[in-house]
Structure formats: C-alpha cells, structure tokens
C-alpha cells in the first residue's frame, strides 16, 4: 500500500496542449525564468529535476515534481547448495 504524497507543482512551468496543431506538435511549454530557476535549485538532486506533465480530472494540464526515488536493494546471501539423497545416489 503506497502513501499518497502531497503534490508539488513545478513553479514557473506551464504546459498547454495544442488541439489544432500537426500530429508531431503536442503542446507548448512556457517557463517563467525567475520562478523556474528558484524551483529547480530548491528541488535538484545530483544536478537533475524530474517534472511530470499530468492531466487533471477537469482536463487541464499541469507540471508536477516527480519525487519518486528508487529504494536501495538489500543484499541477500546466495542460497546454500542442497545435496539431496537422490543426487548422491546417481550412478554418474
């Protein structure tokens, strides 16, 4: 069960889909420089910021900070070899 995190909207970023544009044009990304720079500096990890473009239930688009992080793997020791009686009785 995942915990619902609060949405962090990407300040300074705006996306609008272009309905009557050619197929290869999806929409417009507008960036308000001062707000975007502050947002990027506040939310960068290792020099990167990931932003998702999502569609609201009302059909409008918005930009949200992608806060997903991989969970560290825990090392599991290799399973010990099992030598069953059937293997020990093989003629070869």
80 occurs within a structural domain: no
Name the more confident of 36 and 82.
Answer: 36
44 occurs within a structural domain: yes
Torsion of CA 8, 67, 64, 32, to 10 degrees: 80
Mean of the pLDDT values across residues 74-85? 70
Nearest 5°: phi and psi at 58?
A: -85, -10
C-alpha–C-alpha distance, residues 8 and 5, integer Å: 9
82 occurs within a structural domain: no
78 occurs within a structural domain: no
C-alpha–C-alpha distance, residues 62 and 56, integer Å: 7
22 occurs within a structural domain: yes
Number of domains in the chain: 1
Residue 88's pLDDT is 61
SS3 55: strand
Q: For the segment 10-20, what is each residue's pLDDT rounded down to a tens digit?
A: 999 999 998 89
Instruction: Tell me the residue range of the domain where 41 lies.
Output: 1-67
């Amino acid at each position: 069960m995942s915990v619902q995190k609060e949405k962090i909207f990407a300040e300074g970023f705006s996306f609008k889909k272009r309905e009557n544009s050619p197929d290869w044009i999806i929409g417009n990304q507008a960036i308000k420089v001062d707000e975007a720079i502050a947002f990027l500096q506040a939310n960068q990890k290792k020099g990167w910021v990931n932003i998702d473009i999502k569609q609201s239930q009302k059909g409008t688009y918005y930009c949200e900070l992608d806060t997903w992080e991989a969970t560290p793997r825990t090392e599991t020791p290799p399973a010990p070899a099992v030598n069953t009686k059937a293997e020990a009785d093989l003629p070869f």
